[in-house]
């Protein structure tokens, strides 16, 4: 469906209409609506054609003289005929241009995310339809081609963008449904429904500013802040050509998220024109914009946005409007939204894929210092800048070869990341056996430095191929590479691992990566020496379905897909003993993440307990134990030494099992951002030692920390605690909770104050939760015997 919107220079929001795909199916109403959408053609001419019963078939037969005869002036008559002819030519071009509307289906960019490694490909089609409100959480979609801006100023283009965003946003907010409006995505009748087109973007910041400005201009003043929270900033997704090179165009998307807490008991009217331009001077009439200063009230109605406050409303339309804004109806919508949000809350996943990755990568040794595999070969495709921030582990893996299918890798991709390393760039044809294998391997320096094979051009004047032509143009040379690497006299038999790392989704049955997988599958007689890494379940689903369909092979046991690249990076880096001594690692839902010194430095109110705490240190065990047994304060080293072979286990204090097995699990069942329990103890009886022992024991299940100083700004503490909670977690991914120990804080009101600050910080970061995100373990001195209690 395509929607035509008439705008004046002030960015007015006027009538929208849906047109059938074929002109021959238009009735006189459709013709009128099409005329209303033409720039520089007055509305009165649309009414003239309507009165003359001009429908789609007769529109196709009209000549300029016909229009003059019914009273349409020469200028608009020529424009109408020209635009009619352009529309017919466009349809004819699409009909006779091979592949112009063809392409694979693809998923839309993840909702309310801004750092996903995702791109669109020209002429692929989004596999979601334009819809009304579904379950309120699954976003409804609206497509805008947003092309053909010849003769249009940059400001007019921005005005059109802003108008579309405001109208769609208001409709979603009043319907309490999530939604995404896409610019640069085509629709019928001019394009295939959901066809990726892309649009040129000269200045991204101009769109960001225009959107913020439009929100302030069109929403009522009391709801501007609410609208800014619901309407997310635009994101710009790169559009690739068929050969996987950047097209220079983007799809612009804006997400709308009218959450229950923000929109409760509110209805959102918007001004047709920018309210800031509506000026009334003493003794003078309102200016032209002010005459059209009416308010509009949009809702999602099926696949379009419907205004219930039309310019000349009938009794029936007013009744619809009054029913909609009735308190009972809005309360009902709010309650539906609340229930929907609760159903879709993300829970912490307990993935075993971190240990599975360690097992497969090392061949069972659980250490890269003594891995079963002597050589690693990486097969990968186009990367994204966000991913490359978490791929440092590749630099330490001493890769034998990289089969890179990104033709822009040397400029903006993975090869660029390795530019300071000694790598040898090769084309696949250099692997063809034309003489003794030893001579070829020596010439390639195969076991001395990483051989970087550009498998789809991009270097040495080799042009890239698109998906449909890659196999015939480059497939045979890649087969030579695969066959060469799998020879027993090249790489040690059964002692090398092929790692397929999908940095972009593989969705096409002719994708080069899929063909290469088939080649390795045949050469290695199975998947035992193949490891696949996908960034998420969506990417894995595409990959698995294609392999299962084409080769009837189950790769589920050889694939990692539940870990983010940050978790993969931390987990792999921790497999080197030297890294465990020199670096610090935090637990994650499925593995570990590397805690950078810079980030730890920003959390200066917290003493963070890491998974590998004390590893690589050289503290004096005898001295530490002697000091502790003489009444000194316990340290992490005491717990560390007690776990070493031949050592006596650390003695559990009274209530230890009760805290770890009862209190904390009970608190985790609550639906509250921050919860607290108190350990009340007599000075010298070991309350602090008990609390620290709990932290040490749970350091792989929680992100654990101790508040360094009780005399601090709690707002700063809360901000840092939330930072620890969300560090290196992907957007909308559940986080491991923070277990924060507070010691010697004598005022219980201060603990409550800290708890409230943390809850506010979670709300500010829009952190949703089914269970507590932060657990405060408050260790306080008391006059009576040791007690432990939980508070909520």
Q: How far apart are alpha carbons 643 and 55 in whole angstroms?
A: 85
Secondary structure string (H, E, C) spanning 253-282: EEEECCCHHHHCCCCCCEECCCHHHCCCCC
Contact between 144 and 126 (Cβ < 8 Å): no
The more confidently predicted of residues 90 and 726 is 726
The torsion of the CA quartet 272, 275, 278, 279, rounded to 10 degrees, works out to 170
Is the pLDDT at 379 greater than 50? The verdict is yes
- C-alpha separations of 551 from 220, 515, 537 in Å: 59, 11, 20
Q: At what angle do helices 512-524 and 537-551 cross, to 10 degrees?
A: 60
DSSP letter for each residue of 195-231: BB--B--S-HHHHHHHHHHHHHHHB-GGGHHHHHHHB
What band does 101 get if pLDDT is binned at 50, 70 and 90?
very low
What band does 365 get if pLDDT is binned at 50, 70 and 90?
very high
- DSSP one-letter code for 490: T
CA 280 to chain CA mean position, Å: 46
Is the pLDDT at 789 greater than 60? The verdict is no
Q: What percent of the chain stands above pLDDT 90?
A: 57
Contact between 117 and 383 (Cβ < 8 Å): yes
Quote the pLDDT of residue 99. Answer: 39
Residue 609's φ and ψ, nearest 5 degrees, are: -100, 115
Quote the pLDDT of residue 91. Answer: 60
Quote the pLDDT of residue 151. Answer: 82
Long-range contact pairs involving 470-475 (C-beta distance under 8 Å, separation at least 24)? 470/510, 470/512, 470/515, 471/510, 471/512, 471/515, 474/428, 474/512, 475/512, 475/515
Q: What structural domains and CATH numbers belong to the chain?
A: 23-96 (1.10.150.50), 105-275+292-343 (no CATH), 375-562 (3.40.1160), 596-791 (3.40.50)
Q: How far apart are alpha carbons 316 and 308 in whole angstroms?
A: 10
The more confidently predicted of residues 747 and 103 is 747
Q: Which one, of 140, 178, 171, 177, lies nearest residue 299 by Cα?
A: 171
Pairing mode, strands 496-502 and 530-534: parallel
Pairing mode, strands 298-301 and 304-307: antiparallel
Quote the pLDDT of residue 1. Answer: 31
- What is the pLDDT averaged over residues 578-598? 93
Map tokens 């799809």 to a residue: 251
- DSSP one-letter code for 275: G
Direct distance between the N- and C-terminal alpha carbons of the chain, in angstroms, rounded to an integer: 51
Is the pLDDT at 285 greater than 60? The verdict is no
Is the pLDDT at 196 greater than 80? The verdict is yes
Q: How far apart are alpha carbons 376 and 506 in whole angstroms?
A: 22
pTM to 2 decimal places: 0.78
Q: Which one, of 661, 387, 352, 414, lies nearest residue 539 by Cα?
A: 387
Quote the pLDDT of residue 783. Answer: 58
CA 98 to chain CA mean position, Å: 33
Average pLDDT, the chain: 87
What band does 331 get if pLDDT is binned at 50, 70 and 90?
very high
3-class SS at 618?
coil
3-class SS at 183?
strand
Containing H/E element for 596? Answer: none
Is the pLDDT at 686 greater than 90? The verdict is no
Tens-digit pLDDT profile for residues 398-428: 899 999 999 999 999 999 999 888 899 999 9
What band does 759 get if pLDDT is binned at 50, 70 and 90?
very high
- Can you list the positions of beta strands (E) in 645-702? 674-681
Quote the pLDDT of residue 777. Answer: 95
Contact between 61 and 88 (Cβ < 8 Å): no
* Contacts (Cβ under 8 Å, ≥6 apart) of 322: none
Q: What percent of the chain stands above pLDDT 70?
A: 90
- C-alpha separations of 154 from 37, 38, 117, 205 in Å: 19, 18, 29, 13
What band does 8 get if pLDDT is binned at 50, 70 and 90?
very low
What band does 189 get if pLDDT is binned at 50, 70 and 90?
confident
- What is the pLDDT averaged over residues 712-717? 94
Pairing mode, strands 295-296 and 270-271: antiparallel
Q: How far apart are alpha carbons 487 and 492 in whole angstroms?
A: 8
Pairing mode, strands 674-681 and 774-781: parallel
- Can you list the positions of beta strands (E) in 154-285? 179-183, 235-240, 246-256, 270-271
What band does 316 get if pLDDT is binned at 50, 70 and 90?
low
Is the pLDDT at 367 greater than 80? The verdict is yes
Q: How far apart are alpha carbons 428 and 498 in whole angstroms?
A: 17
Q: How far apart are alpha carbons 206 and 89 in whole angstroms?
A: 33
Q: How far apart are alpha carbons 269 and 263 in whole angstroms?
A: 13
Quote the pLDDT of residue 474. Answer: 94
Q: How far apart are alpha carbons 643 and 697 in whole angstroms?
A: 11
* Contacts (Cβ under 8 Å, ≥6 apart) of 410: 416, 425, 454, 458, 459
At 426, list the tokens. Answer: 């090769």
Of 13-27, 52-66, 292-306, 751-765, give the lowest mean pLDDT range.
13-27
Is the pLDDT at 235 greater than 60? The verdict is yes
* Contacts (Cβ under 8 Å, ≥6 apart) of 225: none
Is the pLDDT at 601 greater than 70? The verdict is yes
Is the pLDDT at 15 greater than 90? The verdict is no
Q: How far apart are alpha carbons 398 and 186 in whole angstroms?
A: 45
Tens-digit pLDDT profile for residues 441-453: 888 888 889 999 9
Contact between 549 and 527 (Cβ < 8 Å): no
Tens-digit pLDDT profile for residues 109-142: 999 888 888 999 999 999 888 776 678 999 999 9
At 303, list the tokens. Answer: 């696949």
* Residues constituting the chain: 792
Q: How far apart are alpha carbons 670 and 737 in whole angstroms?
A: 13
What band does 18 get if pLDDT is binned at 50, 70 and 90?
low
Is the pLDDT at 207 greater than 50? The verdict is yes
- What is the pLDDT averaged over residues 779-792? 58
Quote the pLDDT of residue 651. Answer: 84
Contact between 690 and 656 (Cβ < 8 Å): yes
Highest mean pLDDT among 22-26, 400-404, 428-432, 613-617: 400-404
The torsion of the CA quartet 151, 155, 157, 161, rounded to 10 degrees, works out to -170
What band does 313 get if pLDDT is binned at 50, 70 and 90?
low
Of 33-47, 88-102, 508-522, 774-788, give the lowest mean pLDDT range.
88-102
């Amino acid at each position: 469906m395509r929607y035509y919107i008439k705008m004046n220079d002030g960015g007015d929001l006027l009538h929208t209409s849906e047109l059938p795909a074929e002109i021959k199916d238009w009735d006189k109403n459709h013709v009128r609506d099409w005329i209303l959408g033409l720039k520089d053609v007055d509305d009165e001419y649309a009414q003239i054609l309507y009165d003359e019963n001009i429908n789609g078939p007769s529109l196709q037969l009209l000549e300029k003289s016909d229009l003059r005869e019914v009273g349409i002036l020469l200028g608009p008559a020529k424009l109408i005929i020209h635009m009619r002819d352009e529309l017919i030519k466009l349809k004819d071009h699409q009909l006779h241009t091979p592949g112009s509307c063809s392409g694979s289906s693809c998923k839309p960019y993840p909702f309310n995310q801004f750092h996903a490694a995702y791109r669109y490909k020209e002429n692929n089609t989004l596999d979601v339809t334009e819809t009304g409100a579904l379950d309120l959480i699954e976003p409804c979609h609206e497509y805008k081609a947003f092309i053909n801006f010849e003769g249009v100023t940059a400001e007019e283009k921005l005005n059109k963008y802003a108008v579309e965003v405001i109208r769609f946003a208001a409709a979603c907010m009043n319907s309490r449904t999530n939604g995404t409006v896409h610019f640069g995505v085509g629709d019928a009748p001019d394009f295939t429904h959901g066809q990726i087109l892309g649009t040129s973007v000269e200045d991204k910041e101009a769109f960001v500013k225009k959107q913020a400005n439009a929100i302030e201009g069109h929403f009522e003043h009391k709801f501007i802040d609410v609208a800014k929270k619901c309407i997310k900033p635009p994101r710009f997704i790169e559009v690739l050509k068929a050969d996987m090179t950047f097209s220079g165009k983007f799809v612009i998307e804006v997400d709308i998220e009218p959450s229950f807490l923000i929109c409760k008991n509110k209805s959102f009217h918007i001004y047709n024109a920018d309210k800031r331009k509506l000026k009334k001077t003493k003794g003078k009439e309102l200016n032209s914009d002010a005459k059209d200063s009416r308010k509009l009230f949009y809702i999602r109605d099926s696949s379009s946005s419907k205004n219930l406050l039309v310019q000349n409303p009938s009794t029936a339309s007013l009744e619809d409007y009054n029913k909609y804004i009735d308190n009972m109806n809005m309360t009902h919508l709010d309650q539906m939204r609340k229930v929907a949000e609760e159903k879709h809350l993300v829970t912490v996943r307990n993935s075993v894929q971190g240990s599975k990755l360690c097992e497969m990568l090392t061949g069972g040794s659980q250490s890269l210092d003594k891995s079963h595999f002597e050589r690693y070969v990486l097969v990968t495709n186009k990367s994204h800048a966000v991913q490359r921030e978490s791929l440092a582990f590749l630099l330490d893996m001493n890769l034998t070869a990289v089969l890179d299918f990104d033709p822009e890798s040397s400029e903006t991709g993975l090869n660029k990341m390795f530019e300071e390393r000694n790598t040898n760039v090769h084309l696949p044809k250099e692997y063809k056996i034309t003489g003794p294998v030893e001579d070829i391997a020596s010439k390639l320096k195969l076991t001395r430095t990483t051989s970087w094979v550009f498998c789809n051009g991009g270097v040495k004047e080799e042009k890239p191929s698109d998906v449909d032509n890659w196999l015939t143009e480059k497939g045979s040379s890649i087969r030579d590479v695969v066959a060469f690497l799998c020879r027993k006299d090249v790489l040690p038999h059964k002692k090398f691992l092929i790692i397929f790392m999908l940095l972009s989704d593989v969705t096409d049955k002719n994708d080069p990566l899929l063909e290469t997988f088939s080649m390795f599958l045949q050469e290695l007689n199975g998947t035992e020496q193949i490891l696949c890494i996908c960034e998420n379940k969506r990417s894995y689903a595409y990959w698995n379905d294609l392999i299962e369909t084409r080769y009837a092979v189950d790769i589920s046991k050889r694939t990692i897909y539940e870990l983010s690249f940050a978790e993969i990076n931390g987990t792999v880096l921790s497999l080197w003993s030297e890294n465990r001594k020199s670096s610090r690692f935090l637990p994650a839902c499925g593995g570990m993440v590397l805690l950078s010194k810079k980030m730890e430095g920003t959390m200066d109110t917290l003493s963070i307990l890491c998974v590998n705490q004390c590893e690589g240190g050289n503290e004096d065990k005898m001295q530490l134990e002697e000091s502790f047994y003489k009444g000194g304060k316990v340290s992490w080293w005491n717990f560390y030494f007690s776990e070493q072979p031949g050592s006596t286990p650390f003695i559990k204090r009274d209530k230890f099992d009760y805290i770890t097995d009862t209190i904390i699990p009970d608190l985790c069942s609550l639906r509250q951002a921050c919860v607290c329990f108190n350990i009340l103890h007599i000075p010298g009886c070991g309350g602090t030692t008990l609390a620290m022992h709990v932290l040490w024991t749970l350091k792989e299940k929680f992100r654990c920390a101790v508040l360094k100083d009780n005399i601090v700004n709690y707002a700063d503490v809360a901000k840092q605690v939330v930072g620890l909670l969300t560090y290196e977690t992907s957007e909308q991914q559940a986080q491991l909770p923070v277990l924060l120990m507070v010691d010697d804080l004598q005022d219980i009101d201060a603990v409550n104050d800290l708890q409230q600050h943390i809850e506010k910080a979670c709300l500010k970061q829009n952190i949703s939760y089914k269970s507590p995100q932060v657990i405060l373990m408050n260790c306080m001195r008391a006059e009576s015997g040791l007690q432990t209690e939980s508070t909520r």
